[in-house]
Amino acid sequence: MSYSWNETDVEALTAMSKRMRLDAMDMALASGNNGSHLGGSLSCIEILAVLYGKVLSYDVNAPLKPDRDRFIPSKNHCVLAHIPALAEAGFIDKSEILEFQKDGGRLTGYPMRKEIGLEYSGGSLGMAISVGIGIALKMKEQGFDNKVYILMGDGELNEGSIWEAFMSAAHFGLDNLVAIIDRNHLSYDGDTEEVMGIEPLTDKLASFNWHVSTCDGHDVSSLLKAFSDDKKGSPHIIIADTIKGKGVSFIENRREWHHHRLSQAEYVQAVNEINNE
């Protein structure tokens, strides 16, 4: 990797994560009775902060620059983390984030709008990595040294075509492809190992010829180290151990908060907890 980091970066990314978590609460409150995907957004806040704050190469003034890094959210329901990250990066104005569910809005419904950093429109799980492979193949063909980053959930690893994709990425030697698994241990119905077990995950991915790194997905130093741990010739996968709903006590590790309404009182408590962290 072409970046280095120091304590100042760690502090800045930790502070960025905190701001994003507060933004996520504002968005959740704004969604009213519709509710929003709180659990799986809060689990990947630090991952997105590290990506947009340090790892990704992009230019908000030239969003279509051909050799930019690409970020593809496969777990596209992570909007409460992704949209705050885009605001932190400067792709959108901070005042716009509360419009993420507005009828006809440009942020509504996981749209693809490359001009504001939304590189892909998905939502149905397990499909984005194949698109990322196509993009990575074309980047290599053009001789770019950029990378394609794909954020995946752990539950979506139940989907079959993901394993077709894992097989092919290694076969094609795509060392410009980085997948991050937000290993928050919960899918909608409960513990991934009870619903449909995916372990031993490191062994499975290594046996598919991926270079596997593991890290603490809520520790920015650990994430920075994992992102820099790449290997020539192999696609890189980072298993980021996380807590679904991280940062808010009554949301953490609670499956019903996968998608849930946030009341005014809950909002106040959540904001207090995040501020006092």
Partner 1 sequence: MKITPAIIRKWSMLGQRGTAFGIAMPDIASRKDNVKLLTADLSLLSGMERYATDYPGKFLNVGIAEQNMIGIAAGLAMEGDCVFASTYASFIAVRSLEHVRQHLSYLNCNVKIIGSSAGVVAAKSGVSHWATEDIAFMRALPNIKVFSPADGLEVIKVMEYAADNDGPVYIRLSGGLNCPAVYKEDYNFEAGKMIKLSDKGKDVAVIATGLMVSESMKAVEMLSEKGINCSLFDMHTIKPIDKDTLSEIFKDYGLIVTVEEHNVIGGMGSAVAEFKAGFANAPRQIFIGFNDCFANAGSQHYIWENTGLTADKIAVRIETEYKR
Kindly provide the b/e burial profile for residues 45-76, where b requires at least 16 CB atoms within 10 angstroms of the residue's own CB.
bbbbbbbbbbbbebeeeebeeeebbbbbbbbb
Q: Which is nearer to partner 1, 15 or 167 (CB)?
A: 167
At its nearest, how many Å lie between partner 1 and the CB of residue 118?
A: 12
Residue 163 or residue 267: which is nearer to partner 1 going by CB?
163
| 3-state SS, residue 169 | helix
Query: Which tokens hold the place of 17?
Result: 């994560």
Q: 104 or 160, CB closer to partner 1? A: 160
Q: What is the closest distance, in whole angstroms, from the C-beta atom of residue 47 to partner 1 in the complex?
A: 22
Smallest separation, CB 177 to partner 1 (Å): 10
3-state secondary structure of 85: helix
Q: What is the chain's length?
A: 277
Closest separation between CB of residue 151 and partner 1, Å? Answer: 16
Q: Please, what is the angle between helix 264-276 and helix 7-30, to 10°?
A: 170
CA distance 132 to 50: 20
Residues that bind partner 1 (CB under 8 A): 112, 121-122, 124, 127-139, 141, 160-161, 164-165, 167-168, 171
The smaller minimum CB distance to partner 1, of residues 67 and 277, is found at: 67
